[in-house]
Structure 1
Amino acid sequence: MGSGASIRGFSCCWRKQNSFPETDVALVYRFESIAGKTKRLGGWSRRVPSGRPQASSICLDDSRRLEGYNDQSGVRGGSTVNAGTHAEGVPTEGTTSPSRLDGVDRGVDRPRILSGVQPSGKLHLGNYFGAIRQHIQRQDQGDCFYFIADYHALTSLREAEEREKAIAAKNKAYLPRPARQILAENIRDVALDYLALGLDPKKVIFFRQSDVPEVTELAWILSTVTGMGLLERAHSYKDKLAKGITPNVGLFTYPVLMAADILLYRSHLVPVGKDQEQHLEMTRDIAGAFNHAYGEVFPLPQAVFNDTPVVPGTDGQKMSKSYGNTIEIFAEGKALERAVMSIVTDQTPLEAPLDPERCHVFALYKLFATPQEVEEMAARYRAGGFGYGNAKKALLAKIDAYFAPARARRKALERDPGYIEEVLAEGARRARAVARTTLQLVRERLGLLRSPAS
């Protein structure tokens, strides 16, 4: 992982296999070397020889405190900060110490993990293996904040409405939905999917982004320390311009709202895909700019990358709703069969050997199969006489069986819509408790009066 831009000093990056399952987390540590001493500019540090950072292994679920730990003495160092919260969302009392350089809550025993998912349509296999699965795996590895990014979805909501109108124009039997219905149903589907797949609302804080209005206030504040040039360099913005999409201000300032999402909960770790790496680096830059201008409030969050390879869609490109090449997580019956059987393959004759490593069907099969099953399938490919049709049928059976328990749970949850709203409302209550604490620290740094609601 790139270390990103630091205001001063230099960066050292090393990799340590930690106790998170199936994850190799790259952590970046920043140092400013002055006469053999170090200052933390974001992350963990230790005393090192002049001019050279000394590599160190940090296990994120170590029994030692996440921050304030003195590596030389084995005891906590620095002043205690009691402005943080634990996952219950109940702020502890007290104030931050101005001597802190990292802005991290020293009262937090576990890393605070945050991630969001945009409700832009039916979730698919790419969403599951790229994000959802690791979100669920991390439930017991930190204080997790997972949100449905409905504010972010507004930047493309009208396009979704236009797509429905285009479908209706070709199919008179299709009834297009208005934008408000599209968004409401997409939010509900995301909540259903996560809960059915195993997210436990007692272990994590799961909420709608728009139910925590503090995020928009923080986004405005952060926009005042964000340079135009930083936003103009955003890959996602430039990509959409290149595709001829007419940009709106929301699309342009998308990274600022994303930064507010992350910093509002003073997150330590952010599971992201490689395509979101730049946005996280921008968040670090924005946090650093605020800390430099007004004093330390925000920790510099670290990216956690998923080691799952890019999930191919039915056309061989990266699986994405924008490409129309997805296999939905909860598709079943004929709909699932149509999607799987439509996967593009080459024209190799049935009797000829096949190369499994060049086959999109095999790439998807590997995500569901055991190592032994993968070896056996590869052997069938290479032996010849197997055919892509047989491979697709094997993949179809794997997908159907893998999601069968979650599919049953989802159907049960659909029959109790009130429960979904209760979960999101409770998650918002807990998230707001944390958000208000952070925003009060921000307001104090800015010299703003205490919020009447706090």
Structure 2
Amino acid sequence: MLKKIPPLFSKKYLHKWFSTQANHVKSKEYPKRIFSGIQPTGAIHLGNYLGAISQWVKMQNNNEDIILSVVDLHSMTLPHDPKQLSRNILQMTATLLGCGIDPQKVVLFQQSTVLEHTQLCWCLSCICTMPRLAHLPQYKEKSKDLKDIPLGLFVYPVLQAADILAYKATHVPVGEDQVQQIQLAQDLARMFNSRFGETFPIPHTVITGAEFARLRSLRDPLKKMSKSDPDPKSRICMTDSPDEIVRNIKKAVTDFTSEVTYDQEKRPGVSNLISIHSFVTNKTVDEICSEAVNITTGQYKLMVADAVVSYLKPIQDKIEQYSSDPGYLKDILQDGRDKARNICANNLAEVEYKLGLRVKVKKQQRIEVKT
């Protein structure tokens, strides 16, 4: 709704006022661009793949403009092993390629090699407030057991916002637990636009893999499957050997009822195995229960294990093939870095001009100083 125009102002003022109102009523339209990132902090489990990576592959195959980053800087917010991080970066790249990410269709790069991310992070940090960051639930969760809290853990949501806004991304696929982080990016985009002029689109959250939230820990089906769980038997990783997959599923917590039935509230353990079975075979829950009507849960575990092993085998073969050539993986990341910088360098330059960090000087004849 337009505000009332103050009376008796000059034509120059009214022209400026109407221009401002027009910008207020209709924001600039931006081409659709998707950004997402993944931390190189250990092996990807089945829930990560189904809920995130497989969704990226679908977007890629639908010819979406998508940028993917191996966000190594985010993995440093808590103590880490530098050598392991280096290995994880290449392993994550191999995993993404093995799962179907095509670097010819997607910009795939290593976050720390594109310096514009940290530069924009600082610019956004100067308009963000500490109370705003302190309210984020993930900070509270990750810092509750720490005596000395690293500053990086506190401010990393600003870096996450910079990751997105550096490319003027319009859509960000995330899980439901990341929605509030994206809301910070939205808030910072609005604040910057309000103070310094229209610069960033307001990124939209795209909830992906909500149906895969049903994948629970094999050791505690009341919790989500997580790669941060200290018990490796709680999950199925994309690179687990067939023996490890069979072992983990055989040891999955169920109950004392031998019948195979689906009831998430009363039988969460068995229901979790049925969900996994359904996802890797594309069968419905009813079809699976009908096929398992004459077997025990112990026998059913072996059926699930065989289905998971068969599903992962071709993906694992590709991951192993890519992992055997680290030089190729580095070339992929370097090529992605160049593509990413071609996009975000101009965006950062625009930000710096608007903040007064780049001085525009008109060309003029140089003054000769006589000595």
TM range, normalised to the smaller chain?
0.7 to 0.9
SS at match of 1:253: helix
Separation in structure 2 between the aligned mates of residue 304 and residue 450 of structure 1, nearest angstrom = 38
- Give the TM-score normalised by structure 2: 0.83
2:353 is the counterpart of 1:447: no
In structure 1, what is the equivalent of residue 52 of structure 2?
131
In structure 2, what is the equivalent of residue 321 of structure 1?
227
Q: Which amino acid aligns with 2:68?
A: Y
2:244 is the counterpart of 1:341: no
2:126 is the counterpart of 1:224: yes
Cα RMSD, aligned residues only = 2.2
1:198-217 counterparts in 2 under 5 A?
198-217=100-119
2:136 is the counterpart of 1:234: yes
Give 1:410 deviation, angstroms: 1.7
Q: Which structure: greater strand fraction? A: 1
| Structure 1 residues 346-395: Cα deviation after superposition (integer angstroms, max 9, x where no partner) | 122x3x564454322112112112335x42321255x4x52222221121
Residues 320, 326 of structure 1: 8 Å contact kept: yes
2:215 is the counterpart of 1:303: no
In structure 2, what is the equivalent of residue 368 of structure 1?
280
| Structure 1 residues 165-194: Cα deviation after superposition (integer angstroms, max 9, x where no partner) | xxxxxxxxxxxxxx1111011111110000
In structure 2, what is the equivalent of residue 414 of structure 1?
323
Separation in structure 1 between the aligned mates of residue 34 and residue 147 of structure 2, nearest angstrom = 33
Separation in structure 1 between the aligned mates of residue 71 and residue 197 of structure 2, nearest angstrom = 29
CA gap of 1:295–1:332, structure 2 versus 1, over 3 A, is same
- Counterpart of 1:387 (choices 293, 296, 303) is 296
The range that moved more, 329-338 or 214-223, is 329-338
Residues 78, 150 of structure 2: 8 Å contact kept: no
1:6-405 counterparts in 2 under 5 A?
33-34=1-2, 102-105=27-30, 108=31, 111-139=32-60, 140-158=62-80, 179-244=81-146, 246-306=148-208, 307-310=210-213, 311-315=215-219, 316=221, 317-323=223-229, 324=231, 325-348=234-257, 350=258, 352=259, 354-355=261-262, 357=264, 358=267, 359=270, 360-371=272-283, 374-380=285-291, 383=293, 385-405=294-314
In structure 2, what is the equivalent of residue 163 of structure 1?
none
Separation in structure 2 between the aligned mates of residue 257 and residue 229 of structure 1, nearest angstrom = 17
Separation in structure 2 between the aligned mates of residue 221 and residue 330 of structure 1, nearest angstrom = 39
| Structure 1 residues 96-145: Cα deviation after superposition (integer angstroms, max 9, x where no partner) | xx95864544xx4xx20000001111111121112111011111342110
Separation in structure 2 between the aligned mates of residue 353 and residue 205 of structure 1, nearest angstrom = 44
Q: Which amino acid aligns with 1:361?
A: L
Residues 104, 266 of structure 1: 8 Å contact kept: no
CA gap of 1:321–1:450, structure 2 versus 1, over 3 A, is farther
- Higher relative CO (Cα under 8 Å, sequence separation at least 6) belongs to 2
Q: Which amino acid aligns with 1:123?
A: I
In structure 2, what is the equivalent of residue 55 of structure 1?
none
Greater Rg, structure 1 or structure 2?
Answer: 2
CA gap of 1:104–1:151, structure 2 versus 1, over 3 A, is farther
Q: Which amino acid aligns with 1:398?
A: A
Separation in structure 2 between the aligned mates of residue 336 and residue 407 of structure 1, nearest angstrom = 13
Give 1:322 deviation, angstroms: 1.8
- Give the TM-score normalised by structure 1: 0.69
Q: Which amino acid aligns with 1:242?
A: K
SS at match of 1:304: strand
SS at match of 1:308: helix
Separation in structure 1 between the aligned mates of residue 193 and residue 147 of structure 2, nearest angstrom = 35
Q: Which amino acid aligns with 1:120?
A: T
Separation in structure 1 between the aligned mates of residue 27 and residue 42 of structure 2, nearest angstrom = 38
Give 1:419 deviation, angstroms: 1.0
| Structure 1 residues 5-59: Cα deviation after superposition (integer angstroms, max 9, x where no partner) | xxxxxxxxxxxxxxxxxxxxxxxxxxxx338xxxxxxxxxxxxxxxxxxxxxxxx
The runs of at least 4 aligned residues of structure 1 exceeding 4 Å deviation read 98-101
SS at match of 2:202: coil
- Calculate percent identity across the aligned residue pairs: 32
Give 1:415 deviation, angstroms: 2.4
Separation in structure 2 between the aligned mates of residue 443 and residue 288 of structure 1, nearest angstrom = 17
Separation in structure 2 between the aligned mates of residue 236 and residue 314 of structure 1, nearest angstrom = 23
Q: Which amino acid aligns with 1:153?
A: S
Give 1:244 deviation, angstroms: 4.4
SS at match of 1:199: coil
Number of residues of Structure 1 aligned to a counterpart in Structure 2: 329
Q: Which amino acid aligns with 2:242?
A: G
